[in-house]
Amino acid sequence: MKTLNKPLNNIQMSEIQKTKCLIIGSGPAGYTAAIYAARADMSPVLYQGMQPGGQLTTTNEVENFPGYPEGITGPDMMVQLEAQAKRFETDVRFGFINKVDFSGDVHKCWADDGTEIHADTVIISTGASAKYLGLESEQKYLKMGGGVSACAVCDGFFYRGQETIIVGAGDSACEEAHYLSKLCSKVTMLVRRDEFRASRIMAERVKNTDNIEILFNTDTIEVLGDGQGVTGALVKNNKTGEEKTVNATGFFVAIGHKPNTDIFKGQINLDETGYIEYEQAGTSKTNVAGVFVAGDAADKTYRQAITAAGTGCMAALDAERYLAAKGH
């Protein structure tokens, strides 16, 4: 059902639309939720957001998603997921949700074009954004798929037997450094301060790994390359001012992620770092009845396409059961 508000003077005409299921986000979580919701006759509406296809559109090869024995590029995979969601008549829209009000029984959401949506269920799959250093050279090799990555589990395999650098000092950085150490001949870890932020046990594990060299008090000045790919990094000791080159073919950034959840602040429970909290472990339920979460927006542990897709499936099934229980 669709109702149109009357236009007020020069103010843009806004629409109110009703849907059984609104999906916010078009990564693996959102499209998988759409496939399940559409096949359950929920006629889902999906907003793609500023990055249609999500994080995987920023990477070249995806070799660890089941079903692609030869691997597939991230953008190609997301085109296929979108096509599969559309095959079952998901209403896929280019645009983003910029405001929500979950205080009532009907969940109100507003899109950037002024459309007001009243949704019986909402599936949040807005993902997270990896943080980068912001160096021009880093962004250049990141965009060309030339050896800069924010995901060791995803891309470490491509650097087997090679030397790599990892930047970061927290638990994730230590875990990723350790992961890389099992694949790479040498891992150089660049830590800005004179100590780790990671827990002692994680820091000790890294310190006790023979092929990990830790450079404390070290900043990255520039990612070095030959125009095709990374060859190393120019680094500087921020205490002594000494600069040197570290050789590597892979440059990994592990300085954290920012979940894309700002619009949900004050509407659902978030943890202190902005990740959406599950109300009930083993489900996709948030603390608001009828609002579910899938993928990296709630996952600071696994952060993989397959886990995002898996939780997308869970969210659609939970939404369908919620509607059934309400007699829809």
* Residue 327 Cβ vs ligand FAD, minimum distance, rounded to whole Å: 29
* Residue 312 Cβ vs ligand FAD, minimum distance, rounded to whole Å: 7
Q: Mask 119-158, x = binds ligand FAD (CB under 6 A)?
A: ------xxxx-x------------------xxx--x----
* Residue 81 Cβ vs ligand FAD, minimum distance, rounded to whole Å: 10
- 35 vs 214, which CB is nearer to ligand FAD? 35
For residue 318, indicate whether it is catalytic.
Answer: no
- Per CB under 6 A, the list member of 17, 19, 59, 220 interacting with ligand FAD is 59
The reply to whether 308 sits near ligand FAD by the rule CB under 6 A is yes
The reply to whether 48 sits near ligand FAD by the rule CB under 6 A is yes
3-state SS string over the chain? CEEECCCCCCCCCCEEEEEEEEEECCCHHHHHHHHHHHHCCCCCEEECCCCCCHHHHHCCEECCCCCCCCCEEHHHHHHHHHHHHHHCCCEEECCCEEEEECCCCCEEEEECCCCEEEEEEEEECCCEEECCCCCHHHHHHHHCCCCEECCHHHHHHHHCCCEEEEECCCHHHHHHHHHHHCCCCEEEEECCCCCCCCCHHHHHHHHCCCCEEEECCEEEEEEEECCCCEEEEEEEECCCCCEEEEECCEEEECCCEEECCHHHCCCCCECCCCCECCCCCCCCECCCCCEEECHHHCCCCCCCHHHHHHHHHHHHHHHHHHHHHCCC
Q: Residue 114 corresponds to which tokens in the numbers above?
A: 């002024």
Backbone angles phi and psi of 95, in degrees to 5: 150, 175
The reply to whether 64 sits near ligand FAD by the rule CB under 6 A is yes
Catalytic one of 76, 91, 151, 219:
151
- Per CB under 6 A, the list member of 19, 20, 22, 28 interacting with ligand FAD is 28
For residue 194, indicate whether it is catalytic.
Answer: no
Of residues 232-261, those binding ligand FAD (CB under 6 A): 260
For residue 154, indicate whether it is catalytic.
Answer: yes
- 188 vs 304, which CB is nearer to ligand FAD? 304
* Residue 307 Cβ vs ligand FAD, minimum distance, rounded to whole Å: 7
- 85 vs 203, which CB is nearer to ligand FAD? 85
The reply to whether 25 sits near ligand FAD by the rule CB under 6 A is yes
- 190 vs 276, which CB is nearer to ligand FAD? 276
Residues that bind ligand FAD (CB under 6 A): 24-30, 47-52, 54-56, 58-59, 62, 64-65, 96-97, 125-128, 130, 149-151, 154, 260, 263, 295-296, 303-306, 308
